[in-house]
């Protein structure tokens, strides 16, 4: 099995339309990495928060499915 050393997930909160109106990233993630943010951004949305990054497999599904290109997953091998 390939070992993944380091994963970095960044969310562009200005691009995200909010989990309430979208939430695709949370639905497609097989590892339950994301939760909904507790507070609203300046734009009035609740973006996803990657809280279980240690569970992330680096599959990139969240990045590929996000319709607003808000997510970047970087995997250092
Ligand atoms: S890369 Fe895959 S496992 Fe990691 S947060 Fe995105 S969907 Fe979940
Ligand atoms: S899929 Fe993209 S736009 Fe939709 S809630 Fe997730 S980060 Fe935001």
Residues contacting 32, CB < 8 A, separation 6+: 52, 55
Question: What pTM does this model have?
Answer: 0.92
Which residues sit with their C-beta closer than 6 Å to ligand 1?
A: 28-31, 33, 56-62, 73
Residue nearest to atom 4 of ligand 1 (CA): 56
Write down the pLDDT at residue 77: 78
CATH code (residue 61)? 3.30.70.20
Q: Is the CB of 17 under 6 A from ligand 2?
A: yes
Tell whether the model's pLDDT for residue 1 goes beyond 60. no
Q: Is there a domain that residue 1 lies in?
A: no
Q: How far is C-alpha 11 from the chain's CA centre? A: 6
Q: How many domains does the chain have?
A: 1
For 22-77, how does the pLDDT look when each residue is reduced to its tens digit (9 = 90+)?
999 999 999 999 999 999 999 999 999 999 999 999 999 999 999 999 999 999 97
Domain span at residue 54 reads 6-76
Tell whether the model's pLDDT for residue 2 goes beyond 70. no
* Tokens matching residue 9: 């997930």
* Tokens matching residue 64: 């590929």
Tell whether the model's pLDDT for residue 3 goes beyond 80. no
Write down the pLDDT at residue 4: 55
Q: Is the CB of 73 under 6 A from ligand 2?
A: no
Distance 60 CA to ligand 1 centre (A): 5
């Amino acid at each position: 099995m390939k070992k993944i050393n380091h994963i970095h997930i960044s969310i562009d909160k200005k691009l995200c339309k909010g989990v309430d109106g979208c939430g695709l990233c949370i639905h497609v993630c097989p590892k339950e990495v994301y939760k909904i943010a507790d507070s609203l951004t300046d734009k009035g949305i609740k973006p996803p928060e990657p809280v279980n990054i240690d569970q992330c497999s680096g599959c990139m599904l969240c990045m590929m499915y996000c319709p607003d290109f808000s997510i970047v997953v970087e995997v250092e091998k």
